[in-house]
Amino acid sequence: MLVEIQSSASAVMSGTGQEVARQLHRTPEQRTVAVMFSDDKNGRAAEQFVRQVMEFLPELIRERQQETLNRLIDAFLVSVTPRKRPAKRLVRAASPKKRH
C-alpha cells in the first residue's frame, strides 16, 4: 500500500460538494478522504494545512519504510551473527629464576 501512495499523484481538492464530486468522478480508482467544514474560514485553513502535509507525505513514507527495513535487518542479523568471544590474552611465561 505504501508503494501505491508513493507512485500515485496525490491531489487536494476543494470546493462545494458538487465541484469536488465532479473532480472525484475523474479519478474513481484512487482512495479519497473528504473533510467538510461548516464555515469557509476553517475550511480554507484546513485546505492549506492538508496541502502542506501532502508535500511532505512521500518523504515521510520513504523515511518510515527505511526505518522499518533497518529494524528488520537488525533483528535478523542479531540471530545470524556469531557471538563475540573474549579476546585471548597473551600470558607471558615466567622467566626462569637464576640460581646462585
Q: Is residue 55 part of a domain?
A: yes
Q: Is residue 20 part of a domain?
A: yes
Q: How many domains does the chain have?
A: 1
Q: Is residue 95 part of a domain?
A: no
Given this model, what pLDDT does residue 3 score? 46
Given this model, what pLDDT does residue 47 score? 87
Spans of the chain, pLDDT less than 50:
1-7
Q: Is residue 91 part of a domain?
A: no
46 vs 43: CA distance, rounded Å: 5
Q: H-helix or E-strand containing 5?
A: helix 2-7
Q: Is residue 96 part of a domain?
A: no
Residue-number span of the structural domain to which 70 is assigned: 2-80
Q: Is residue 99 part of a domain?
A: no
Q: Is residue 92 part of a domain?
A: no
Neighbours of 97 (CB within 10 A): 6
Q: Is residue 7 part of a domain?
A: yes
pLDDT in tens, 71-83: 988 888 876 666 6
